[in-house]
Amino acid sequence: MDEWLFHLINERWTSPALDLFMAALSNVEIWRPLLLGVVIYLLIFGGFRGRACVVCVMITLALAEQVTTGLKWAINRHRPKQVQTVRLVQLENTRPAFMTLFKKPNARFSNQIDRKRSGPSFPSGHMTNNTVIALYLTLFYRRGWLYWIITALMGYSRVYLGAHWPSDIIATFFLAVGETLLLLALLELLWRRASARWWPALHRAHPRLLSEVA
């Protein structure tokens, strides 16, 4: 089932428009300036809620990256292109990075060289990061659930681009949700104790990291 669904998404449900969209979505360099702008905005104008959300996301992403790296090498599951011939989509290298959106991507099938270019498949770093962001935005903001659309598309794109098996994406989602909720509970506990002791005035105004969703 896993292999069948992978080949369906990677080889049959494709088009030139989807090639560009999926490859661009997975390219962090394209969206880095936008993400940095959002972070700066929340830190300056987002009030306590915005700053708390950013700090929680950053801490969780940093710790989740260590877990992801450790599990990748402990489980050592091969990526699709490391064991089979799969369809790959590559964007043109441009400066600045977003200019690649105006170039036609190159679609081809993997070869022997591609099998040595990537690390293990599970968990997916892209899926982990976006699940963490989506869950925090949902908890901190009423319309934060909209980011789940991006997260779902990101997970689909990783299969579409031949980087992961569908089961990698699904299992990573549950793993990332568990990590996020566990770390949020720990951060909430640390905030209550630390703020009450060292910043009593701030603690009275914001006794919890998560108050009513805005």
| pLDDT, tens digit only, all 214 positions of the chain | 889 999 999 999 999 999 999 999 999 999 999 999 999 999 999 999 999 999 999 999 999 999 999 999 999 999 999 999 999 999 998 888 888 888 899 999 988 887 877 889 999 999 999 999 999 999 999 999 999 999 999 999 999 999 999 999 999 999 999 999 999 999 999 999 988 889 888 888 888 888 755 5
pLDDT at 98: 80
Does residue 211 belong to any structural domain of this protein? Answer: no
> Is the bond preceding 200 in cis, omega lying within 30 degrees of 0?
no
Q: Is residue 165 part of a domain?
A: yes
Which pTM was predicted?
Answer: 0.93
- Helix ranges, the chain (H): 2-7, 16-26, 28-45, 47-75, 80-83, 125-140, 147-160, 166-198, 200-205
Number of domains the chain contains: 1
DSSP conformation class of 109: E
Q: Computed from CA positions of residues 160, 178, 119, 170, in that sequence, does the dihedral angle turn out positive or negative?
A: negative
Question: What is the model's pLDDT at position 196?
Answer: 85
Answer whether residue 66 is part of any domain. yes
CATH of the domain at 23: 1.20.144
- 89 found inside a domain: yes
Residue 125 pLDDT: 95
120 in a structural domain:
yes
Residue 200 is assigned to a structural domain of this protein: yes
List of E strands, 74-119 = 87-90, 106-109
Task: Give the model's pLDDT for residue 76.
Answer: 93
Instruction: Note down the domain range covering 75.
Output: 2-205
Residue 210 in any domain: the answer is: no
pLDDT at 150: 97
**In this structure, which amino acid lies at residue 164?**
H
User: How far is C-alpha 114 from the geometric centre of its chain's CA atoms?
Assistant: 23
| Amino acid identity for residue 69 in this structure | T
pLDDT of residue 214: 57
Terminal CA-to-CA distance of the chain, rounded, Å? 41
76 within some domain:
yes
